[in-house]
Amino acid sequence: MKHRDGMKMPRRDALAAMGAIALAAKPGLFAEAAPKSTAKIALQLYTMREPTKADLADTLKKVRAMGWEYVQWSGMPDLPADKIRAALDTAGLKAMACHCGVEAFETDFDNQLKFWKTVGVEAVGPGGMMKECQKSLADWIAGAKRLDAIGAKLREAGLRLTFHNHSGEFEKFDDDPRCKLDILYETASPKNLTAELDLAWIKVAKVDPAAYLRKCKGRCIQVHAKDVLLDKDGKKKKFAPLGQGELDWKAVFAAGAEAGVQWYIYEQDDGDGSPFDWAQVSYEFLSKNVLGK
């Protein structure tokens, strides 16, 4: 290798330079290079769980009337797959993902696969780590390996496995310097387990959502777009419609573009007033900031 002036570079310096080039080209810690995509928006139906208890069909009809086209199935009535699909089709909605327990995939994979393919989702995933895998570092790593194995089977079958975090995944075990979410994503392959980052819970954990999004470049296909109000001690006070809480959305959207986020899924666990009002405000927020409408 030669310097720009044509002089021959010493072998040791040449090797160091090549190493630096290789390191600079290496993808992020958790994933490969982020895919290029045009992001879409969806509504996490867990937001609408209370009105759904009274009337599923009417709730879905009102969701579509707001403008939502895509939803994530979660917190909804326990129905057969064909009934879920029929309810969504009647309302003019499509389920792009769901939250579900993953244990059934370990014991009854084929039927679970058929169920969610009938519903029509592209991604399935739990709302957190399996209960029996939370107590110790060894348990957590065992859980990560289980998720990796399930995700590999799902990937081969045409579905994607996701993992949804709360603030607790940013805590640490006594015998490891990494937070739990880092351990999970370093243990499981990004090909088999993708990140569904809940941005509000990241904020509650006193972590920068935009920075963690960038850390998951290429791995975070979908996020839970959620806003939160904090008290003076930085603890969660209550959730809020998008744009009315503490999150720096300009920074989030910039990071999401760099990270390769393809879905912004609005979710609001609770709040003041009606979930229909929250969902309408948040649809308009995402429609403007993500879809450019």
Give the CATH number of the domain where residue 151 resides.
3.20.20.150
Domain contains 235: yes
Domain contains 187: yes
Domain contains 8: no
- Name the pairing type of β-strands 227-230 and 123-125: unpaired
Helix (H, G, I), strand (E, B) or coil at 267: coil
The domain containing residue 254 runs over which residues?
33-289
pLDDT at 293: 87
Domain contains 15: no
> In whole angstroms, how far apart are CA 268 and each of 138, 175, 240?
33, 34, 7
56-66 vs 275-289: helix axis angle to the nearest 10?
Answer: 30
Give start and end residues of each alpha helix (H) in 67-194.
81-91, 103-107, 109-119, 137-157, 180-187
Residue of 205, 272, 200 whose CA lies nearest to 243: 200
Q: What is the pLDDT of residues 195-233, one digit of tens each?
A: 999 999 999 999 999 999 999 999 999 999 999 999 999
Q: What DSSP state is assigned to residue 16?
A: H
Separation of alpha carbons 211 and 252, rounded Å: 9
> In whole angstroms, how far apart are CA 276 and each of 54, 66, 133?
14, 9, 36
Number of domains in the chain: 1
Q: Report how far Cα 62 is from the mean position of its chain's Cα atoms.
A: 25
Tokens standing for residue 154: 């799902």
Q: In the structure, what pLDDT confidence band is assigned to residue 33 with cuts at 50, 70 and 90?
A: low
Question: Cα torsion for 90, 96, 98, 102, to the nearest 10°?
Answer: 130
Domain contains 14: no
Q: What DSSP state is assigned to residue 271?
A: -
Q: For the chain, first and last CA: distance in Å? A: 52
Supply the pTM of this predicted model.
0.88
Domain contains 5: no
Higher pLDDT, 2 or 136: 136
pLDDT at 269: 96
Tokens standing for residue 133: 């895998």
Domain contains 169: yes
Burial label for 55, CB within 10 Å (0-12, 13-18, 19+), is: exposed
pLDDT at 123 over 80: yes
pLDDT at 3 over 80: no
Domain contains 23: no
> In angstroms, how far apart are the furthest CA atoms of the chain?
79
